[in-house]
Structures are given as structure tokens and as C-alpha cells.
Amino acid sequence: MREFESLCDVLGANRRVRIISRLALYGRSSVRDILLHAKGDERPSRSAIQYELDKMEAEGVLVKEGGEERSRGFYCLNPNNETVMLMTFGFREERRRRPEEETLEMVEEVITNRGKCSRAELYDNLKETGISQARLSQSIRKLIDKGSIEKWEKKGVGYSIPRARET
């Protein structure tokens, strides 16, 4: 990876390479993520990063997920761009997002096994699976909407299986 970045520094493609390497390593990133992990003495401005991302998207190097033009969204490498895929093959991490049904089953199983649990206990039991706080919140909301779990509020917030399903 360092050799690749060094070569690109010599060719003057430093900013683009940092963007490509970040996306290859982490799968997808927002403008904010890229800014927070900028290296070197020269920290680019948000508009400079946004300009570069828009230009790379127009060239077919990147794909934007969500968001309108010049608004919040996530960028990832274009899987249909053979050159980029070959260039990043050695250090690109292929991530598989867990199917939603699997996540919902995991959350419901922990609540079923524990009877009642707080949100913190639920996260502690699931954090080794790699679930994020945001994904956990989405799963809890979907299970509540579906009626699979219920929210209780007594000295804090927790979740349990509805009484009708316990028997």
C-alpha cells in the first residue's frame, strides 16, 4: 500500500489516491469520513474533497450511495470499473453486509434468552458480532413495529418479548 501511495505522490495524484485507498480499505465513506482521516500537512477543505469526489464519480471511478448532488451520501469504488478493481485488488477488503433478517433474529434471540434487557445490555451481548449502534437501533425499531418485542420504561428503557408470545 505504501509503495502504491509513494508512486502516486510522484505522479501528483495524492488526493485521489488517498480517497481510493480509503474506499478500498473501508468499503464506503462520506465526505466527513474522508476529511477526518486526511493525512499530511495540507488538510483539504470540504469543498475540495467534494469536488474531487464529484469528478471521480463523473469519470466512473466511484459510485455514490444515497443523497442528492452535493449532499450527504456515501461513496464507494465502482465495481464495474475494471481498472480501479485491478488497482485495488491486493488491499481491497470485501465486506458482506449481514442480511437484515439475520440481524433481527440475533436481536430477538438475545431478548428471548434474557427475558428483559436494557439497550446497553443488548448491545453488550451483540457487540462481538460487529453490529453498530445505528444498526441495533434500526433492528429494535423494526421488531417493535412488527410486534416481536415490546419496549418497557421503568427506571430506564428496556425490551422484552410480549406476554402473549412468552407461553
Q: Residues 39-75, buried b or exposed e (16+ Cβ, 10 A)?
A: eeeeebeeeebbebbeebbeeebbbbeeeeeeeebbb
Separation between Cα atoms, residue 46 and residue 157, nearest integer Å: 38
- CATH architecture, domain defined by 2-87: Orthogonal Bundle (1.10)
Report yes or no on whether pTM surpasses 0.75. Answer: no
pLDDT of the residue at 162: 73
Per-residue pLDDT tens over the stretch 54-65: 899 999 999 988
Q: Domain extents for the chain?
A: 2-87, 100-166
pLDDT of the residue at 167: 47
Q: Please, what sign has the CA dihedral across residues 145, 148, 152, 158?
A: negative
Per-residue pLDDT tens over the stretch 64-118: 887 666 667 888 888 888 888 887 777 666 556 677 888 888 888 888 888 888 8
The CATH code of domain 100-166 reads 1.10.10.10
Provide the mean pLDDT of the chain. Answer: 78
